[in-house]
């Protein structure tokens, strides 16, 4: 909330923005009535399917301003939302863009003439949301163990929806399932399972410590509502994405290659006479 204030020179920028929107609405109306001279209404936005900025055709748009005031205490707040239906000109996906601003979130700067300017920061969300990349080995993992693949599918879905508490719990569940697939007794506590992974040669000292952190994080999320930030979650995810395909898909098969490698020949040293 901010103190209720009179319009100032700084509001000129907002007025300019609203005028732009009005022009956009006019263009859309002309497009809808089929005027051939209105060739296109194109914008550049983040396509959720391409997961990158693309030229998009505006299929529909409306701007809804809002305001709120507390006359007793003299506070007020206002903002607006652009609702747009867009179609990516790359992959042809049609998606909805929610593009909002409010008068508590502005960037300020001084232009070359020394005049203070401001511009509203915009928050953009698309529906559907961009789907993050899945590792290529996930399908192969499904053939090895459907339950483990299903757990990881749900972890990725939760992460895409920014539900990082649920995703962190899911990561711990994935490690738990992986230990079971490797033949470790599922009734053992996590500490014992990780210890058996190490003694069984599936992981080394460092990875044991890394997976301890991963499972502790999942436990903290499950029991104490701890939520990692994006950076922390990416590290947890990376640890699991390294452990699971190597242990489950490749296992110790690579050790069989050792039998095919010819032994080193002993080097005959020239003795000085
Ligand atoms: Zn696209």
Q: Distance, CA 235 to ligand 1 centroid (Å)?
A: 28
Which pLDDT score is estimated for 253?
65
- DSSP string spanning 134-152? PPTTHHHHHHH-HHHHHHH
Q: Distance, CA 87 to ligand 1 centroid (Å)?
A: 8
- State the maximum Cα–Cα separation within the chain, in Å, rounded to a whole number: 106
- Are 159 and 234 spatial neighbours (Cβ–Cβ below 8 Å)? no
Whether the pLDDT of residue 33 is over 90: the answer is no
Q: Distance, CA 232 to ligand 1 centroid (Å)?
A: 29
Q: Distance, CA 59 to ligand 1 centroid (Å)?
A: 15
Q: Distance, CA 85 to ligand 1 centroid (Å)?
A: 13
Q: Distance, CA 12 to ligand 1 centroid (Å)?
A: 35
Q: Distance, CA 79 to ligand 1 centroid (Å)?
A: 29
Domain ranges of the chain: 2-127, 138-258
For residues 91-116, average pLDDT: 93
Please state, rounded to an integer, the average pLDDT across all residues of the chain: 83
For residues 147-170, average pLDDT: 93
Q: Which position has the token pair 């992460």?
A: 159
Cβ partners under 8 Å of residue 81, min gap 6: 63, 64, 66, 98, 99, 100
- Are 63 and 20 spatial neighbours (Cβ–Cβ below 8 Å)? no
Q: Distance, CA 132 to ligand 1 centroid (Å)?
A: 14
Strand ranges in the chain using DSSP code E only, listed in sequence order? 2-3, 42-47, 52-70, 75-88, 94-102, 106-110, 116-120, 123-127
Q: Distance, CA 95 to ligand 1 centroid (Å)?
A: 9
Q: Distance, CA 39 to ligand 1 centroid (Å)?
A: 21
For residues 202-226, average pLDDT: 92
Q: Distance, CA 3 to ligand 1 centroid (Å)?
A: 42
Angstrom distance (rounded) from CA 157 to CA 154: 5
| pLDDT bucket at 56, cuts 50 / 70 / 90 | very high
- The long-range contacts involving 110-119, CB below 8 angstroms and separated by at least 24 positions, are 115/9, 116/9, 116/10, 117/10, 117/13, 118/10, 118/13, 119/13
Which pLDDT score is estimated for 29?
35
Instruction: Find the range with the poorest average confidence among 50-64, 172-186, 209-223, 248-262.
Output: 248-262
Q: Distance, CA 153 to ligand 1 centroid (Å)?
A: 23
């Amino acid at each position: 909330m901010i103190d209720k204030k009179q319009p100032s020179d700084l509001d000129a920028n907002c007025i300019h923005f609203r005028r732009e929107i009005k022009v956009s609405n006019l263009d859309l109306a002309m497009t809808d009535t089929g005027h051939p001279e209105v060739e296109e209404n194109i914008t550049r936005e983040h396509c959720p399917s391409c997961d990158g900025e693309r030229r998009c055709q505006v299929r529909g748009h409306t701007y809804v301003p809002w305001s709120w005031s507390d006359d007793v205490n003299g506070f007020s707040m206002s903002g607006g939302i652009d609702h747009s239906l867009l179609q990516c000109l790359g992959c042809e996906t049609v998606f909805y863009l929610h593009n909002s601003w409010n008068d508590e979130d502005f960037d300020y700067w001084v232009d070359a003439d020394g005049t203070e300017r401001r511009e509203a920061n915009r928050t953009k969300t698309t529906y559907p949301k961009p789907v993050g990349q899945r590792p290529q080995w996930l399908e192969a993992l499904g053939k090895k163990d459907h339950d483990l693949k299903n757990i990881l599918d749900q972890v990725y879905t939760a992460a895409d929806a920014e539900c990082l508490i649920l995703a962190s719990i899911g990561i711990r569940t994935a490690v738990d399932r992986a230990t079971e697939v490797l033949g470790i007794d599922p009734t053992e506590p996590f500490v014992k399972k990780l210890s058996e992974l190490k003694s069984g040669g599936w992981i080394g000292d460092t990875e044991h410590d890394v997976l301890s952190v991963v499972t502790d994080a999942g436990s903290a999320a499950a029991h104490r509502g701890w939520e990692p930030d994006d950076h922390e979650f990416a590290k947890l995810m990376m640890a699991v994405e390294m452990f699971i395909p190597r242990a489950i898909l490749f296992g110790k098969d690579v050790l069989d290659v050792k039998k095919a490698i010819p032994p080193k020949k002993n080097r005959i040293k020239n003795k000085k006479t």
